[in-house]
Amino acid sequence: MQQNLPVLLKQLDANLWEIPATGKMRVPGRVYASSAMMRAIEKDQSLQQVVNVAHLPGIVKYSLAMPDIHWGYGFPIGGVCATHRDDGVVSPGGVGYDINCGVRLIATALDADELRPRIKPLLSGLFRHIPTGVGASKAIPKLNRSELHAVAVEGARWAVRRGFGTSAQLERIEEHGCLAEAEPEAVDDRPWQRGADQLGTLGSGNHFLEIGMVEEIYHPEAARVFGLQTGKIVVMIHCGSRGYGYQICDDYLKVALRATEKYGISVPDRQLACAPIRSEEGRAYLGAMRCAANYAFANRQIIMHLAEQSFMETLGLSQRELGFQLIYDICHNIAKFESHEVDGETVDVCMHRKGATRAFGPGNPGIPVEFRGVGQPVLIPGDMGRYSFLSVGTERAMKETFGSSCHGAGRHMSRKKAMAESRGHDMIGELRDRGVEIQATGLRTIAEEMPHAYKDVADVVNVMHDAGITLKVAKFKPVGVIKG
């Protein structure tokens, strides 16, 4: 990374800051954060990364960052960038290693008070059905190369075709659970090997399946549209493309480094390595990235089905009694072509969202018909001890952030530091005192993911709500979690 220089910040309003374009920056930077958040953000390198992203060829309007911003690879986590489809670049660092890491929210007919006495056996059942942890595999039989190619092209449709869920659920997934123009031929051997037996697995780190209860509703109309009621149980699934997507990113970072040199692209940080969108390397990365995105859509579709089966088996309920209904599934590590208004003109851009989610406003044809009166659901998980949120996108988001918003709490403590801070703590007991039961592969993951390692997600959500980018719909309190 280039030498850190003092970053000039101009506060535009209570929750919006601008970094003026200086030197070789092509656009200004903009950061959504409260004053208290900004004091913490200034302590790491993430603002410098906002500046660095503003140097990318073809970037339009702003280099953006959401309030869950923290330091990442090349781009900050929480970064958003639009590059012109004709003369812009695509950067693997603007998507990240866990391609299409995303969140799926499910409503149920269950009352939280009735479920609590059975939460431990339910978690045990979920833990049995859904493999977790580093290298977890074989929720379904190992797939051959031909079957994996089908997954990479069809996404969640492949899972439905194999009996995991219903075709109606595809309407409740971003891009209907499949990015078009995936190119299996652009993927090398190693990703196929790593992905052969990892479909339907949760993974490790910050990935989880969380059982929560609807604790508070802020937007009754939207809650009604989404089928949410106070006191009812919801399920949130957070995971991505596992080793398959990780390997694709790793492979294409090397390709991007060579392309940056080949096309004479000057960037302030080699982690921003990129390729022109219309180049052979750019097209190949996008084709391979879509394969990983589709793998992740299929993965979450399968996990949802496994979770539903586990609920029914453990609780002795029929499908109708359980009422397991998908609300929405969103990506938060992705690059996609979208059309947005820039300086009064509609422009086709490649949207990089890294640790940020799409947040389209009411009436947008890209969201399910039944949601167009209230806006696209935006799913924002918190840490496993406090709460998570559901918001909706707004028309203001379409004008100011390319229809983008935050994706979670955002770390304020490294995993190493979180481990050190957790020594001597009864972490499972502390979570139980908060009313949360947890089952995990090992204590290390629990220690790395304890609530104290994260910002308070309510602060993050409130910044975007107060800025008018998203509107809060509901808050969910966790009652049970499984992790790797």
Catalytic (active-site) positions: 407
| Angle, helix 280-315 to helix 145-154, in steps of 10 degrees | 90
Cα angle 144, 148, 153 (rounded to 5 degrees) comes to 155
Specify which residues 475 forms β-bridges with: 216, 389
Cα–Cα distance measured from residue 410 to residue 197, given in angstroms and rounded to the nearest whole number? 30
One-letter amino acid for residue 412 of the chain: H
Alpha helices of 130-264 — where are they, by DSSP H? 145-154, 156-161, 189-195, 220-226, 242-262
DSSP type of residue 454: B
Using CA atoms, how far apart are residues 409 and 292, in angstroms rounded to an integer? 24
Q: State how far the alpha carbon of 155 is from the alpha carbons of 297, 307, 332, in Å.
A: 6, 19, 16
90 to 46, 65, 209, 253: CA distances (angstroms): 20, 18, 32, 11
- Measured between alpha carbons, how far is 397 from 401 in angstroms, rounded to an integer? 5
Cross-strand partners of 11: 17
Residue 303: CA count within 13 A, CB half-sphere:
36
d(CA 346, CA 467): 24
What is the phi/psi pair of residue 238, to 5°?
-125, 110
Give the SS3 label for residue 432: helix
Write out the H or E segment, with its range, that includes residue 62: strand 59-70
CA separation for the pair 394, 107 (Å, rounded): 23
Task: Give the Å distances, CA to CA, from 246 to 101, 289, 303, 369.
Answer: 10, 10, 19, 34
SS3 readout for 186-223: HCCHHHHHHHCCCCCCCCCCCCEEEEEEEEEECCHHHH
Structure-derived torsion over alpha carbons of residues 280, 283, 288, 292, reported in degrees to the nearest 10: 160
Name 81's bridge partners.
63, 352
DSSP-based three-state secondary structure for 281? helix
Backbone phi and psi for residue 347, each to the nearest 5 degrees, phi listed first: -125, 135
